[in-house]
């Protein structure tokens, strides 16, 4: 079976490419060409029917929502509801990252409950099951890890975050720079670091890269090269360990693409806003424009409870500068396992952020909705305002909760509405403006 990348390279436009083209309102040939170059990825695993979106150059920035149990809270029904909520409120993909309970059953239930493309970190399952059986992640058998990767690919997982770049060289860089202010915050990165340091061996995912690529190719799974050394504090951002891992991941991305495997390169987690553009430029340059997956990014360390806002700032700038894929952040980041409502808030914050970024990155292609909203507000056309809003449900909910005495207005201004006050004086100009607006749209 040929992968989407291999089929694109021989000029074939697949049904998945056509679906991705409809989602972004571009022509199928644009998608095919982007996939062939390694600049766009899309779902190709034949084991599960999934909604397909394109991620990459020239397309709208996509939003991923992450869910999953923890050792402290295992509620499968809640995780299923989180998955459905993420889909309902517009997440483009979902990552199932459970670390507590029956991991296979949780993944099965989630896959059955939604149509989104689902990603995982297979290392989580391998590490957790090893710890349950043997007492520590350092006792993990590499054979077991590869078995888990194969198993999840057969279930229809669309993309996998694989921490190939956490290797002996990267850890040497980490030691030489004196470790970090924020420590290691990637679970996958920490698991592998502990395994490497304890066993004094190379990362098997790096050492046996051909074996990994063979699995990805066999099931057409997108290889998302995990950022295991991402900064968990802004004072650690763009340090030598992170950049060393990025170099390795970009080399692997190029190699995997040469073998017909679609790849994504993952980016930093905590980063001050003045370093975002440099990180995007560096990743794009080193990877030959492979899709860039930014994890947040969180732009200050002092906002627990409001990290979704901090991340939205980072996501908007990341999107503007060319990032292709954003992992949302929820309000309880660093504090607690997210609830269903937290998932909704995280998805909506990220969606607003990437739209703001795409207004610069893609310009008029995404600005039309903003003009439509402006005209509807000027004309006090509430139904059009609702239908144009990024969340019609939320807009209706808020206005209905505080109904105005004058149905044309809202309770912010009521009868003192500025738009209504001057509208009569400019009626003749409004007609000209409407015609101009219709032509523009």
Q: Which region holds residue 417: left if phi is over 0, alpha if psi is between -120 and 50, else beta?
A: beta
Contact in structure between 213 and 267 (CB atoms under 8 Å)? no
- For β-strands 292-295 and 263-266, DSSP reports them as parallel
Residues of each domain in the chain carrying CATH 3.20.20.540: 59-362
What pLDDT, in 10s, does the model give residues 125-176? Answer: 999 999 999 999 999 999 999 999 999 999 999 999 999 999 999 999 999 9
| Tokens describing residue 74 | 């295992």
Contact in structure between 202 and 196 (CB atoms under 8 Å)? yes
pLDDT score of 436: 66
Contact in structure between 143 and 118 (CB atoms under 8 Å)? no
Q: What is the DSSP letter of 426?
A: G
| Tokens describing residue 184 | 């290691």
Nearest to 441 by CA among 373, 351, 355, 354: 373
Contact in structure between 182 and 217 (CB atoms under 8 Å)? no
Q: Is the pLDDT of residue 438 over 70?
A: no
- Structure pTM? 0.95
The percentage of the chain sitting over the pLDDT mark of 90, rounded to a whole number, equals 93
Q: How many residues does the chain have?
A: 441
CATH of domain 59-362: 3.20.20.540
Contact in structure between 347 and 315 (CB atoms under 8 Å)? no
What pLDDT, in 10s, does the model give residues 334-347? Answer: 999 999 999 999 99
Strands (DSSP E) found in 49-164: 55-56, 62-67, 93-96, 117-120, 159-162
Residue with tokens 């295991």: 228
pLDDT score of 317: 98
Report residue 427's pLDDT band, with 50, 70 and 90 as the boundaries: confident
Strand partners, 94: 65, 118
Half-sphere exposure of 75 (CA within 13 A, CB side): 12
């Amino acid at each position: 079976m040929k992968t989407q990348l291999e089929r694109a390279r021989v000029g074939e436009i697949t049904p998945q490419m056509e679906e991705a083209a409809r989602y972004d309102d571009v022509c199928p040939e644009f998608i095919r060409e982007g996939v062939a170059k390694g600049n766009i990825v899309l779902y190709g695993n034949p084991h599960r029917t999934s909604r397909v979106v394109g991620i990459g150059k020239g397309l709208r920035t996509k939003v991923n929502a992450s869910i999953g149990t923890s050792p402290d809270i295992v509620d499968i029904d809640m995780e299923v509801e989180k998955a459905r909520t993420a889909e309902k409120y517009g997440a483009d993909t979902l990552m199932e990252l459970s670390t507590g309970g029956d991991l296979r059953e949780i993944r099965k239930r989630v896959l059955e409950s939604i149509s989104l493309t689902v990603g995982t970190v297979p290392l989580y399952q391998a590490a957790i099951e090893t710890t349950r059986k043997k007492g520590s992640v350092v006792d993990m058998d590499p054979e077991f890890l590869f078995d888990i990767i194969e198993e999840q690919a057969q279930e229809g997982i669309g993309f996998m975050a694989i921490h190939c770049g956490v290797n002996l060289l990267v850890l040497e860089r980490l030691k030489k720079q004196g470790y970090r202010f924020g420590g290691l915050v990637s679970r996958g990165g920490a698991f592998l670091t502990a395994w490497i340091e304890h066993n004094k061996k190379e990362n098997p995912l790096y050492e046996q890269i051909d074996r990994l690529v063979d699995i990805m190719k066999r099931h057409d799974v997108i290889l998302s090269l995990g950022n295991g050394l991402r900064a968990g504090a802004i004072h650690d951002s763009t340090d030598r360990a992170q950049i060393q891992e990025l170099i390795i991941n970009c080399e692997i991305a190029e190699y995997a693409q040469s073998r017909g495997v679609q790849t994504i390169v993952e980016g930093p987690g905590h980063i001050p806003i003045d370093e975002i553009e440099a990180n995007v430029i560096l990743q794009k340059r080193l990877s030959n424009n492979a899709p860039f997956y930014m994890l947040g990014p969180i732009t200050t360390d002092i906002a627990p409870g409001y990290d979704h806002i901090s991340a939205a700032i980072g996501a908007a700038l990341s999107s503007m500068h060319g990032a292709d894929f954003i992992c949302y952040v929820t309000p309880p980041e660093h504090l607690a396992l997210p609830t269903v409502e937290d998932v909704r808030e995280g998805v909506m914050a990220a969606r607003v952020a990437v739209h703001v970024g795409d207004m610069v990155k893609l310009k008029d292609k995404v600005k039309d909705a903003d003009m439509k909203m402006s005209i509807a507000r000027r004309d006090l056309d509430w139904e059009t305002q609702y239908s144009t809003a990024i969340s019609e449900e939320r807009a209706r909910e808020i206005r209905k909760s505080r109904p105005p005495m004058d149905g044309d207005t809202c309770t912010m201004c009521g009868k003192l509405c500025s738009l209504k006050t001057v509208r009569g004086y400019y009626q003749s100009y409004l007609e000209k403006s409407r015609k101009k607006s219709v032509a523009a749209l």
